[in-house]
């Protein structure tokens, strides 16, 4: 099974369909509820629900997905001596991975059950058209949010790294993660954890029109953790939800994340994000907010409402 540990939960939906072809005479028996095995709709719908729930036990690479809503509807269509029962499934969840296989399994099992209920009276049945009509959430939606065309700069705030006593890891991780979304990292600086130095560099990037400034380090509680003290007074608007999102995501992985003072906000048309200095902290914080963070640029330019 693919590792989805780093993924964020989001609203996912899927619509699937399947068709059972039968005779017009059989269709009338369905409508009149005279089938020898009883009511078609109740039994087939129940089977589809059970099929959806059993998906992860049937399909090897499917994760167990919490199915928060599953609707199964039927459309009866007649054309001369031919007819068909169209099964339509809509599934919904808030989870880290999609629900399309569950929807298609439900459609398939429902169609098979319809087949089973009709076979005593119709010997020319056929199932066709099992397919996914639409899915939302996940990668498809994230593609709409990209760093392509945006500029970014990275500021590593660390006394030990700036003095050559320790290698930088968080800055390199941020650069790699941001570039995955095609943002153009135009500058990368390492400075001491000093308020005046940090502010001077951030102001220079704002003046140069850098759209996204990622600051890493100095978000803890030690005496030399001063990035937040440097950045907070410069911010014109604070995006509290971003800091909350990073801490919530981190807290699901380690209780130590609650000590992070990470924050984000805007200065003019530039957006600043303060991240932890540890490699895991920086990576997890970015997992929480990328690529959604790039929407800030549209908002700062008067769009995205």
Residues tagged active-site:
116
Q: What angle separates helix 100-118 from helix 40-53, to the nearest 10 degrees? A: 140
Residue 91 β-bridge partners: 14, 70
């Amino acid at each position: 099974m693919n590792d989805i540990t780093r993924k964020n939960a989001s609203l996912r939906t899927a619509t699937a369909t399947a068709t059972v072809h039968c005779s017009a005479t059989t269709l009338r028996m369905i409508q009149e509820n005279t089938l020898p095995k009883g009511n078609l709709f109740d039994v087939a719908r129940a089977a589809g629900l059970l099929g959806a729930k059993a998906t992860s036990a049937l399909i090897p690479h499917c994760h167990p997905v919490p199915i928060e809503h599953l609707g199964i509807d039927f459309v009866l269509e007649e054309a001369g001596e031919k007819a068909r029962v169209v099964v339509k499934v809509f599934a919904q969840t808030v989870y880290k991975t999609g629900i399309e296989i569950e929807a298609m399994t439900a459609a398939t099992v429902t169609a098979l059950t319809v087949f089973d209920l009709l076979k005593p009276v119709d010997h020319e049945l056929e199932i066709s058209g099992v397919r996914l009509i639409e899915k939302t959430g996940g990668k498809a939606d994230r593609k709409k949010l990209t760093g392509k065309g945006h500029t970014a700069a990275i500021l590593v705030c660390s006394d030990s790294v700036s003095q050559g006593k320790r290698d930088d890891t968080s800055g390199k991780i941020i650069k790699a993660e941001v570039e995955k979304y095609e943002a153009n990292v135009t500058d990368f600086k390492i400075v001491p954890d000093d308020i005046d130095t940090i502010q001077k560099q951030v102001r220079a990037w704002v003046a140069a029109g850098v759209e996204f400034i990622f600051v890493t380090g100095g978000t803890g509680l030690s005496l030399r953790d001063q990035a937040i003290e440097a950045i907070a007074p410069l911010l014109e608007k604070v995006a509290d939800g971003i800091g909350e999102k990073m801490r919530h995501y981190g807290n699901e992985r380690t209780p130590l994340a609650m000590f992070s003072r990470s924050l984000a906000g805007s200065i003019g048309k530039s957006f600043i994000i303060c991240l932890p200095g540890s490699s895991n902290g920086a990576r997890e914080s970015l997992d929480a907010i990328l690529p959604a963070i790039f929407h800030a640029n549209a908002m700062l330019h008067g769009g995205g409402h």
